[in-house]
Structure 1
Amino acid sequence: MQSGLQLHLSNYPALASLEEHVHTETSFCLVIAGSYQENIRSRVSEHVRGDLLVCPSATPHAQLIGAKGARKLIFTASQTAQDYLTERGIRLDQAPCLRSEKFLQLGARLLSELRNEDAYTALAREGLALELIALFAREKQCTGQTREPAWLKSARDYIHDECEQNITLEHIASEVHHHPVHLAREFKRYYGMTIGEYQRQIRVELAARLLKEGKLPLSDIALTCGFASHANLCRSFKAAYAMTPSQYRQQF
């Protein structure tokens, strides 16, 4: 039996760095060992064992593998499956991620089939991959985080565009015509972080780009990215990338 499913197991050495790149197809990734940080869609996220995440097609992302390396089971989602999820409010283009032991149980079965090669292997692999996608969608809907309201997306975009400015919650709320308390609550519910955490994340990402692209002094980068001081930049950067800005620059 022929199957359109693409499935492979990838192993990454400790502290490896994957430069920003894109994929031509939307894929799912199950972390089965180790950990890594990923920079995607203006987010820096830490992924560990049990995470099942989506990498949308044509979406730039970069990764920094953890101190113990990483092992990932990667498989594609057919266009039919993607359309099915989109119709039900599951936004794959937002690169969602969930963590569950249930994913690992199915992943173990999928790994077992990866070692098989018989007349039914392709059918078994495709069935298990679809079962993982369905479980992901069910878990996602249970969180209540499907499609964010347009006004909330506008708020997120505004924060992103003005990340170097010290804008207040009240100012952002006035821009989208919603109460500050309501904005703060919905932002955390949909994006899994506070507005302050998101602002800090965007600034750190901007600092990372400047560190790779040029030779600006760290104090200048700190001011350009909206940090109060060089020390403030260093603390936030190390929390996000597990290294200082100077160590990060040395890698590039």
Structure 2
Amino acid sequence: MGRILSKTESESFVFSEVLFAPNSKLRTQGDRSLALFCILNGGFIETFRHGKFDCGPGSVLVKPVGEPHSRQVLSSGAHCVIIEIKSNQDKRLEGLERAFDDARVIESADYFSLVRKIYKEISAPDRLSEFAIEGLALELLTRCSREGNDESNSKIPKWLLDAKGFIQDNFKDKLSLSAVADNVRMHPSHLARRFRQTFKSSIGDYTKRLRFSYAINQLIDTDKSVADISTESGFYDQSHFTSSFKKSYQITPLRYRVAARHYIKSRRFRSE
């Protein structure tokens, strides 16, 4: 398990904001409850008995009950919202839980919009947030249960997966569309169109979310300056990083560092 930054419960769900360290590995015999891994930034490779899934920014990984799996986190790390279903406490969810026989990854702008709304509610909760996240999670779970596995990696062209892998390996550099296209020997406009159609994100947005995930790990785990983290993560300068970060998280990088460390310290204190 990664580092839990926050945890919220509703009647039927447990919501955890989790940060996975870059290049970390995990192997488990299976989870006791159905879970949705919603990747905000960064990503990982999840391997099950029947296949391997590339889980990048904006994707939702559905993990069935009891299926053994392993995880290899990318060099960017991974920033996720994990939604665990408490089916033993809500009989309505037992049927939905049985609908997921196999793991699957879903990449859709509509799904990610729901995830962002859930993240906003658990990040800045008010007295109505419990009702809001319960409804949003039920909608997300229902949509996932109706979604087939048509977007599995086995149906994505190898050159497109290679392009995605190239971005994952080089997101800290000054990447351009032409550089990615040259690497996979495709025309830039064709690459950009197919990437957006398949992964529901532009190459620029995908790269930025990988950079955010890496930067968040650096903010929490190191004492590097925001300026150093900015350039190390692939942003043009501190001003560019700060404005982009605040636009996505409604908080500056420095304030995020203080808030995240305070939460982690308070959890450690309560557990002692």
TM-score, length of structure 2 as denominator length: 0.55
**Does residue 1:182 correspond to 2:190, yes or no?**
yes
Match of 1:227 in 2: 235
**Does residue 1:206 correspond to 2:217, yes or no?**
no
Which letter maps to 2:195? F
Task: Give the distance between the partners of 1:226 and 1:132, measured in 2 at CA.
Answer: 35
Task: Give the distance between the partners of 2:184 and 2:204, measured in 1 at CA.
Answer: 17
Unaligned runs of 5+ in 1: 1-7, 31-35, 47-52, 83-90, 102-106, 112-128
How high is the sequence identity, in percent, across the aligned residues?
Answer: 20
CA deviation after TM superposition for structure 1 residue 132, in Å:
6.8
Q: Secondary structure at the match of 1:41?
A: strand
**Does residue 1:81 correspond to 2:101, yes or no?**
yes
Q: Is the 8 A contact 2:39 2:57 kept in 1?
A: yes
CA deviation after TM superposition for structure 1 residue 223, in Å:
1.0
Q: Is the 8 A contact 2:40 2:79 kept in 1?
A: yes
Q: How does 1:29-108 map to 2 (within 5 A)?
A: 29=36, 38-39=40-41, 41=43, 43-45=56-58, 53-56=60-63, 57-59=69-71, 62-63=79-80, 81-82=101-102, 92=104, 94=105, 96=107, 99=111
Q: How does 1:119-158 map to 2 (within 5 A)?
A: 135-137=146-148, 141=150, 147-158=155-166
Which letter maps to 2:12? L
**Does residue 1:167 correspond to 2:175, yes or no?**
yes
TM-score, length of structure 1 as denominator length: 0.58
CA deviation after TM superposition for structure 1 residue 242, in Å:
2.9
Match of 1:10 in 2: 13
**Does residue 1:195 correspond to 2:203, yes or no?**
yes
Which letter maps to 1:220? D
User: Per-residue CA shift, 1:49-79, capped at 9, x if unaligned?
Assistant: xxxx4344544654469xxxx9966779679
Relative distance call for 1:164 and 1:38 in structure 2 (3 A) is closer
Relative distance call for 1:187 and 1:80 in structure 2 (3 A) is closer
User: Which structure would you say has the larger Rg?
Assistant: 1
Q: Secondary structure at the match of 2:13?
A: strand
User: Per-residue CA shift, 1:175-232, capped at 9, x if unaligned?
Assistant: 1011111100000011111111111111111111111121011111111111111111
Relative distance call for 1:246 and 1:240 in structure 2 (3 A) is same
Say what the alpha-carbon RMSD is for the aligned residues. Answer: 4.3
Match of 1:240 in 2: 248
User: Per-residue CA shift, 1:125-181, capped at 9, x if unaligned?
Assistant: xxxx9x9765221xx64x899832110011011111111211221121111011111
Match of 2:266 in 1: none
User: Per-residue CA shift, 1:7-34, capped at 9, x if unaligned?
Assistant: x82255xxx744449773494549xxxx
Q: Secondary structure at the match of 2:215?
A: helix
